[in-house]
Amino acid sequence: MHTPSIAVQRLSLAPLGAGDLLDRTIRLYRRHFLTLLRTAAPPVVVSAIGSVLWTVGWREFSVTESGGRLVLYVSMWLLGLALILGGYFFYFIIMGGASRNLVAHLLWGEAVSARAIYGNVRGRFWGLAGAILVIALFGGMVASMTLVVWALAITLAVAGVVAITGGTGWLEGLFMVATIAGISLAALMLFFWGVGRVAYVPQVMLVEGQGVSAAVGRSFSLARGNVRRLLAMFLFTTFATYAALMLLLVPLGWYGYVNGVDPFTLRDTDWPLWYAIGYQVVWQVSSVLLAPVWMLGLSLLYVDERVRHEGYDIELLAAQRLGAEMPALPAGYVAPLAPALAAAKPAPVMRATASGGSLLGLSERAKF
């Protein structure tokens, strides 16, 4: 039995709003910064190497006059693209594997470690790979439909603004900016309403021991009312990543400016090769600094959804108040709710064959 740490004992069991979610995520991020950084670094480093190869191949194959060099640069471009996609793919797998370790930390105060996270990934690698593919396909469909709706709404809105204002003055421009911003925000909410339905698939697999198909259905049932919190996480990580990028680009920009590079040009083909590579490396460094935020945020969201809908806090309260873990059910019974933390490998589901006995229902929770 694990003894909950002071941090876990102070874990708020109240449902988390968007602000509470970000506050809890940032505090956990600061507490486990180095561990999470080591965990997220390997796939991001792979993506960084791929971005360097992609940059060199893309810039050079269009200007070279040698057939042999053309083959070399095209190969570098393709290899770089494969490394970029592979790095991001493995990052999402690791993010799913981290959920079990993070939830165990929230429940029992277990140490957050890169070894435990990668151990979880090794144990369910192919299942996590299938889950990431399912999420990617579903997210692609949602993104495509959202993009079509957004473009149609923008077209109609712009035509309406022009018809209402009847001119090209500052008032029309103000209405145009406000309308586009409002439609874009609504489109983001629509996107996260759709893709949020599968946001908890890796968490369900690792924490509850479910397979891919069962985890998808379980994620759909849990994902209710998480649009604003997912949107808040997206906006926070986006602005924080760009803020870190700008801070890291200042030294590179000054050095480039001293050496005759215009860092304000938007065409990277006008940059020298060394500056373009440095820009890509800085971008990847800013990504790895903020990548663990999604690991923590989605795990906290998963715990919060189960606190809201299933009384997930009962096992934690039992450990803290009674000094013991929840007792196992007798053979032949199945719990009405999913386990707080299932075995590392999926266990066969047992059907209830008896009508007697005391199961942990809402009445027992009220008495507790």
pLDDT attached to residue 91 = 86
Whether 274 is covered by a domain: the verdict is no
Can you read off the two tokens belonging to residue 209? 């021991």
Confidence of residue 191 (pLDDT cuts 50, 70, 90): very high
Whether 201 is covered by a domain: the verdict is yes
pLDDT tens readout for residues 320-335: 565 555 555 566 555 5
The share of the chain scoring above pLDDT 70, in percent, equals 76
pLDDT attached to residue 360 = 28
pLDDT tens readout for residues 19-70: 888 888 888 888 888 888 888 888 888 988 898 888 888 877 777 777 777 8
* 248, 249, 255, 260 alpha-carbon torsion, rounded to 10°: 170
Query: Which of 102, 100, 101, 105 has the alpha carbon at shortest distance from 9?
Result: 105
Handedness of CA 26, 27, 30, 31 (dihedral sign): negative
Burial of residue 177, with CB atoms counted within 10 A of its CB: 0-12 exposed, 13-18 middle, 19 or more buried: exposed
Whether 196 is covered by a domain: the verdict is yes
* 8 Å CB contact between 13 and 316: yes
Give the domain range for residue 214: 129-224
pLDDT attached to residue 310 = 73
Judged by phi (left if over 0) then psi (alpha if -120 to 50, else beta), residue 350 lies in: beta
Whole-angstrom distance, CA of residue 320 vs CA of residue 323: 6
Handedness of CA 144, 150, 156, 162 (dihedral sign): negative
Whether 121 is covered by a domain: the verdict is no
Max mean pLDDT among 105-119, 185-199, 213-227 falls in 185-199
Whether 213 is covered by a domain: the verdict is yes
pLDDT tens readout for residues 128-156: 999 999 999 999 999 999 999 999 999 88
| Residue 357 reports pLDDT greater than 70 | no
Q: By mean pLDDT, which of 150-159, 203-212, 295-304, 306-315 is the weakest?
A: 306-315
pLDDT attached to residue 367 = 35
The domain tally of the chain equals: 1
Query: Which of 283, 340, 268 has the alpha carbon at shortest distance from 306?
Result: 340
Whether 151 is covered by a domain: the verdict is yes
Residue 177 parent element (H or E): helix 170-195
SS3 string, 305-349, reads HHHHHHCCHHHHHHHHHHCCCCCCCCCCCCCCCCCCCCCCCCCCC
Whether 167 is covered by a domain: the verdict is yes
| Residue 9 reports pLDDT greater than 50 | no
pLDDT attached to residue 365 = 34
pLDDT attached to residue 8 = 45
pLDDT attached to residue 78 = 92
- Amino acid letter for position 125: F
Whether 147 is covered by a domain: the verdict is yes
pLDDT attached to residue 327 = 55
